[in-house]
Amino acid sequence: MSDIRIKIEKRARKAIVQYAFLRWENAVIIGMVLLLMFFLPQPFKGWPIWGWPALGVLGVAAMVFSSITDVNANAKVQLDLFQERFNPRKVQDAELRNEVEKALEYQRRIEAYISKQRAGVLRDRLVDTAGQLADWVSHIYQLALRLDAYRHDPLLAQERAAVPKELEALTSRQSLEKNQEVKKQLEAVIESKRKQLESLVALNSRMEKAELQLEQSNTALATVYSQAQLISAQDIESGRSDRLRQDIQDQIARLNDLVSSLNEVYDYRGPGI
């Protein structure tokens, strides 16, 4: 299981326990116990003084137990924490934000499907698959943040527009310059501008590749969602689930390589990374 999912599951367990004790139903039970102890301390002869508090403790304990063992509640808390960690609102670009939201939605559906499965080998395999998806969604989120930073970087936008014009003007000036010293200085400046332009072109090429990979990754995630629902106990024995896991690992590896390459050419440390 991925480190991301482990950390989120730990936070989810703490949140569930906190929710279990702070449920409004528990407040009602405690309030009723206090009222009954004051207005009806002994409903019938032989009723012990600790009768109402004991029933209150049992009622609260039942509520806490039902909350902790509620599979749907646990899944909802865990998904809320995923939404908090990979917050789409931190992505300014609407198109990129939509890609992140789609990835989170597929993950939500897969998690919901797994939560409905009975305990056993099939559920364990699907949980392991969901653990890998946490890494997948994490890489999609990081990729979206980097693309978002690139699209909203005013300095880079200015350079992409200005450098080609500056290079053209410098080249034209050099061709007309008669002074050899000035001409030599212009040549050095032109070489520097050419390197700057090459860097901008290379960065833009990486970003275009990243955009295509982001779209492809979400398409592949949709396929995994469909395949996860088709896997049965027989498919585990046939190795179909292993092939699905390998496909997921391949996608994660590609995304990881791409994110790493973007880190090399465009140093961006976004929120939550």
**Alpha-carbon radius of gyration of the chain:** 29
In this predicted structure, the answer to whether residue 271 has a pLDDT above a threshold of 50 is no
Confidence of residue 77 (pLDDT cuts 50, 70, 90): confident
CA distance 146 to 223: 25
52-78: b or e for each residue (b if 16 or more CB lie within 10 Å)? beeebeebbeebbeebeeeeebbbbbb
Tokens of 179: 């002074």
Least confident of 47-61, 69-83, 154-168, 258-272: 258-272
Q: What value does the mean pLDDT take over residues 180-198?
A: 91
Query: Lowest mean pLDDT: which of 63-72, 126-135, 184-193, 233-242?
Result: 233-242
Element (H, E) at 32: helix 24-39
Average pLDDT over residues 244-262: 80
For residue 127, pLDDT over 60 is answered with yes
**Of 115, 25, 108, residue with least CA distance to 61:** 25
Q: Tell me, what's the pLDDT at 109?
A: 82
- Locate tokens 């924490």: which residue? 81
Alpha carbon distance 273, 268 (integer Å) = 10
* Of 79 and 18, the one with more pLDDT: 18
121 pLDDT exceeds 60?
yes
pLDDT of residue 5: 67
Mean pLDDT of the chain: 82
**pLDDT at residue 31, as a whole number:** 93
Residue 85 CA to residue 90 CA, distance in Å, equals 10
Q: State residue 166's pLDDT score.
A: 92
Q: Is-above-0.85 flag for pTM?
A: no
Output the pLDDT for position 240: 65
Statement: residue 188 has pLDDT above 80: yes
Task: Give the pLDDT score at 268.
Answer: 41
- The pLDDT, as a whole number, for residue 193 is 92
Percent of all residues in the chain with a pLDDT value above 70, rounded to a whole number: 88
pLDDT digits (tens, 9 = 90+) for 3-33: 676 777 777 778 777 877 888 888 999 999 9
Closest CA to 70 of 109, 5, 105, 116: 116
pLDDT at 272 over 50: no
Q: Where are the domains of the chain?
A: 1-85, 93-273
For residues 104 and 88, the answer to whether their CB atoms sit within 8 Å is yes
